[in-house]
Amino acid sequence: MKALKETNFNFPGQTQFYRGKVRDVYTINDDYLVMVVSDRVSAFDVIMPRAIPYKGQVLNQIAVEFLDATKDIVKNWKISSPHPMVTIGHKCEPYPIEMIIRGYLTGSAWRAYKAGKRKISGVPIPDGMREHQRFEKPIITPTTKAETGHDEEISREEIISQGIIPEEEYKLLEEYTYKLFERGTEIAAKHGLILVDTKYEFGKKDGEIYLIDEIHTPDSSRYFYADLYEENFKKGLPQKQLSKEFLREWLMEHGFQGREGDKLPEFTDEVVKNVSDRYIELYEKVTGKKLDKISYDNIENDIEQAILKELKNL
């Protein structure tokens, strides 16, 4: 099964290269970022041993779609997408905080709640809630952005009192986060989905706030099927999800949670195909479009040539 695990390009004016868990990021003249979204997949902050076909294309194309659909709310970093796995945009100075917004008590928040925790990032959670229950109003539960290892919860008060982000700027980030989530929720509803939770990252360029990185993708967001939600919730059944949670659950079932000593289960062709199919399903459900699958025959050359052509226009 062909997939793009990594790239190793050297572009004119390249001043920096960074390989993240999923993205290969090339800095051009310290002004622009070329982001190649690989087919790597991570869970519990661990990169899985095999890449997932079409995953990078799905992530990039969903992000591009939602960046375009929200640019009236806040400026974003995107300039162009010259290839289905690539976005080129402005280099911004990132805030060291991820803005996580939750509409429902699920995933890691539910696991913490079930263990007795009643605050997430300083936000109180009422007693008596059930898994997948909707919050009266979405809550913002920020985390630090760790270079390595796990991101840590941090409260609004700590962010401001420690001078991590000035109060006026943080209020703007909150405002943008609520508005972006509302827009994402509206778009998801049109396609029969519920946007359950997601994360946004912001940065600054020339004194202005920009939305950066990906938005509303299965790696940064969780979706439920709207038509099944109420009945499943009433009966206490699992929700049918479109997110990376299915991969986390499969790993947990096989004894892996990223803890020291945990052994990764084998990623068979069947597992890889299943994960790939779920990503494609999410793309088609979220966008309402059929995925026009890329060819992997000359993928690295195709990407390189598309980027080189676009760089000439910057």
Asked if 286 and 242 count as a contact pair (C-beta separation under 8 A), the reply is yes
Asked if 239 and 225 count as a contact pair (C-beta separation under 8 A), the reply is yes
Q: How far apart are CA 237 and CA 285, in angstroms?
A: 22
**Is the pLDDT score of 245 beyond 80?**
no
When pLDDT is cut at 50, 70 and 90, the band that residue 151 belongs to is confident
Interior/surface letters 198-212, b for 16+ CB within 10 angstroms, e for the rest: bbbbbbebeeebbbb
152-157: average pLDDT: 95
Q: How far apart are CA 21 and CA 193, in angstroms?
A: 27
Superfamily of domain 94-242: ATP-grasp fold, B domain (3.30.470.20)
Find the farthest-apart pair of alpha carbons in the chain and give their distance in angstroms, rounded: 58
pTM of the prediction? 0.90
Please name the residues in contact with 260: beta carbons below 8 A apart, sequence gap of 6 or more: none
Kindly report, residue by residue over 65-104, the tens digit of the pLDDT: 999 999 999 999 999 999 999 999 999 999 999 999 999 9
Write down the pLDDT at residue 243.
74
Higher pLDDT, 245 or 108: 108
99-115: average pLDDT: 96
Write down the pLDDT at residue 282.
85
Write down the pLDDT at residue 251.
94
- With vertex at residue 199, the alpha carbon angle to CA 49 and CA 185, rounded to the nearest 5 degrees, is 115
Residue 54: closest CA among 44, 39, 67, 74: 39
Which residues are paired to 221 by β-bridges? 198
When pLDDT is cut at 50, 70 and 90, the band that residue 148 belongs to is low
Write down the pLDDT at residue 219.
82
Write down the pLDDT at residue 69.
97
Q: How far apart are CA 171 and CA 160, in angstroms?
A: 10
**Is the pLDDT score of 149 beyond 80?**
no
Kindly list the domain boundaries of the chain, sorted by start residue: 94-242
